[in-house]
């Protein structure tokens, strides 16, 4: 092998119903990538344990997230859809990466800092090591491309740092085992085992914000349901939430400069643009100085049009847990084959005896 096989990997935490940010920031892109790459899409249930979910809720949300993948158009036969905990090699590689990643690197993770606030001493070790498990998710398959929203960028940079340090720490061993690929590392060429995975972050939809506060990320854990569009919202829910979405009084902004200074309007224009596969400039050109209520009506129409197939299929799949479970079982079996093949090499590289 002279270069890494292109392979897409991405994941979602089963911490609640999927919302529009997950859809536009990640899953819509996942669907498109299926045409040009082999893809592995994962429900990261072990990551969700860092939020201390009730066991019944974790099971329910795992199934719901898979239902949302399928309803959005992910094909579990051509590609792989599975839940992380079933492929134990993720946890095994995460331990090896815990011994590669430096505490200083982990201390810089802004998501950890935001989540724990001042209560750092009471945070779980799992939450601190979260990005190391994320690196293992990606690298246990030697994935080369990772489609995510902007909030995951720093975690992917850490993944790249871990891959680079592993490759350079073990490059002689990798070379002598004859299982590596020549990679550029600064001015040097070294023999590496892991690819330096590329984040795929879309410009228009990288950060979808709350409908109630344009400076806060739209999130499935926000206590206010009015702050987000859920993938299974009915057309009435969507219309109510968009009508109530915070905006300034006055007409739609006139220039990009003015739009940028109005976070709520900017966010709604971004959502419109992402749904209609165009840029914000063209949305501005269409709605500039029109009444905001007219823009909101057009936004409701496009949301209902684009999401109604997804939400009706999602409601249907939620009533068929046996089918969802069969998809996960099959996907986990196929993912395990790839993960174990790579793990065998990784154990050899680091010096863990095996059969
Ligand atoms: P999670 O579950 O928080 O979110 C899943 C995906 O949705 C994107 N996203 C958003 N994009 C734009 N605007 C928003 N408001 C918004 N909210 C969420 C996220 O960027 C993400 O792409 N750590 C990850 C899960 C994970 C993972 C991985 C991802 C675990 N292992 C390996 C990629 C590769 C997370 O918590 O995503």
Residue of 57, 165, 217, 246 marked catalytic: 217
**Euclidean distance between CA atoms 214 and 53, whole angstroms:** 28
Chain segment 103-129, per-residue pLDDT in tens = 999 999 999 999 999 889 999 999 999
Nearest to 231, CA basis, from 31, 70, 43, 46: 70
Within 10 angstroms of residue 111's Cβ, the number of other Cβ atoms is 14
Pairing of strands 188-192, 181-185: antiparallel
Q: 94: Cβ below 6 Å to ligand 1?
A: no
> Measured from the CA of 209, which atom of ligand 1 is nearest?
15
Pairing of strands 38-43, 80-83: parallel
Q: Does 115 participate in catalysis according to the annotation?
A: yes
What pLDDT sits at residue 235?
A: 95
Q: Does 329 participate in catalysis according to the annotation?
A: no
Instruction: Give the three-class secondary structure for 7.
Output: strand
Q: 208: Cβ below 6 Å to ligand 1?
A: yes
**Euclidean distance between CA atoms 192 and 196, whole angstroms:** 10
pLDDT at 1 over 60: no
Q: 324: Cβ below 6 Å to ligand 1?
A: no
Q: 342: Cβ below 6 Å to ligand 1?
A: no
Within 10 angstroms of residue 303's Cβ, the number of other Cβ atoms is 21
SS (H, E, C) 129-157: HHHHHHHHHHHCCCCCEEECCHHHHHHHH
94 pLDDT band, cuts 50/70/90, is very high
Task: Find the mean pLDDT for residues 48-54.
Answer: 97
Comparing 23-32, 288-297, 327-336, the range with the smallest average pLDDT is 288-297
**Euclidean distance between CA atoms 247 and 290, whole angstroms:** 14
Q: 10 C-alpha to center of ligand 1: Å?
A: 8
pLDDT at 17 over 90: no
Q: What is the mean pLDDT of the chain?
A: 95
55 pLDDT band, cuts 50/70/90, is very high
289 pLDDT band, cuts 50/70/90, is confident
Q: Would you say 20 and 138 are in contact if contact means Cβ atoms under 8 Å apart?
A: no
Q: What is the DSSP string of 220-236?
A: TT-S-GGG--BTT--HH
Pairing of strands 181-185, 7-12: unpaired
Q: 17: Cβ below 6 Å to ligand 1?
A: no
Residue of 28, 113, 122, 220 marked catalytic: 220
pTM of the prediction?
A: 0.96
Q: What are the CA-CA distances from residue 245 to residues 202, 254, 260, 271 (Å)? A: 24, 20, 17, 13
Residue nearest (by alpha carbon) to ligand 1 atom 27: 11
Q: What is the DSSP string of 143-193?
A: --EEE--GGGHHHHHHHHHHHHHHHHHTHHHHHHHT--EEEEETTEEEEES
As a whole-number percent, the residues of the chain with pLDDT over 70 amount to 99
**CB-side exposure of 274: number of CA atoms within 13 Å?**
28
Residue identified by tokens 């158009």 is: 73
Q: 153: Cβ below 6 Å to ligand 1?
A: no
What pLDDT sits at residue 16?
A: 84
pLDDT at 233 over 70: yes
Q: What are the CA-CA distances from residue 205 to residues 48, 77, 147 (Å)? A: 24, 28, 12
pLDDT at 219 over 70: yes
Task: Look at the alpha carbons of 344, 348, 349, 353 in this order and tell me if their dihedral is positive or negative.
Answer: positive
pLDDT at 136 over 80: yes
Pocket test for ligand 1, best of 26, 83, 213 (most atoms within 8 A of CB): 26
pLDDT at 249 over 80: no
Q: Does 280 participate in catalysis according to the annotation?
A: no
Q: Would you say 3 and 44 are in contact if contact means Cβ atoms under 8 Å apart?
A: no
């Amino acid at each position: 092998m002279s270069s890494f096989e292109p392979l897409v990997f991405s994941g979602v935490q089963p911490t609640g119903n999927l919302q529009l940010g997950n859809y536009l920031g990640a899953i819509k892109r996942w669907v498109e990538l299926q045409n040009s790459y082999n893809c592995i899409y994962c429900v990261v249930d072990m990551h969700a344990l860092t939020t201390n979910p009730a066991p019944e809720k974790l099971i329910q949300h795992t199934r719901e997230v898979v239902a949302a993948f399928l309803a959005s158009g992910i094909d579990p036969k051509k590609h792989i859809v599975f839940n992380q905990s079933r492929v134990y090699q993720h946890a095994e590689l995460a331990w090896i990466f815990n011994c590669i990643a430096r505490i200083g690197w982990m201390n810089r993770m802004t998501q950890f800092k935001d989540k724990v606030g001042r209560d750092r001493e009471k945070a779980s070790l799992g939450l601190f090591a979260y990005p190391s498990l994320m690196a293992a998710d990606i690298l246990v398959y030697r994935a080369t491309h990772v489609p995510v929203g902007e909030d995951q960028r720093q975690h992917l940079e850490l993944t790249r740092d871990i891959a680079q340090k592993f490759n350079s720490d073990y490059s002689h061993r990798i070379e002598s085992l004859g299982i590596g690929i020549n990679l550029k590392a600064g001015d040097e060429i070294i023999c590496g085992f892991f690819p330096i995975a590329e984040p795929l972050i879309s410009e228009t939809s990288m950060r979808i914000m709350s409908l109630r506060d344009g400076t806060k990320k739209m999130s499935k854990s926000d206590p206010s349901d009015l702050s987000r569009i859920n993938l299974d919202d009915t057309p009435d829910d969507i219309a109510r939430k968009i009508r109530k979405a915070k905006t300034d009084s006055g007409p739609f902004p006139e220039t990009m400069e003015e739009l940028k200074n109005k976070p709520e309007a900017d966010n709604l224009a971004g959502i419109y643009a992402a749904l209609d596969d165009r840029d914000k400039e063209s949305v501005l050109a269409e709605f500039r100085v029109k009444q905001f209520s007219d823009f909101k009506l057009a936004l409701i129409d496009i949301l209902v049009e684009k999401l109604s197939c997804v939400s009706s299929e999602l409601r249907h799949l939620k009533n068929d847990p046996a089918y969802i479970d069969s998809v996960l079982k099959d996907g986990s079996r196929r993912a395990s084959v790839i993960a174990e093949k790579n793990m065998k090499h990784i154990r050899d590289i680091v010096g863990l005896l095996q059969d």
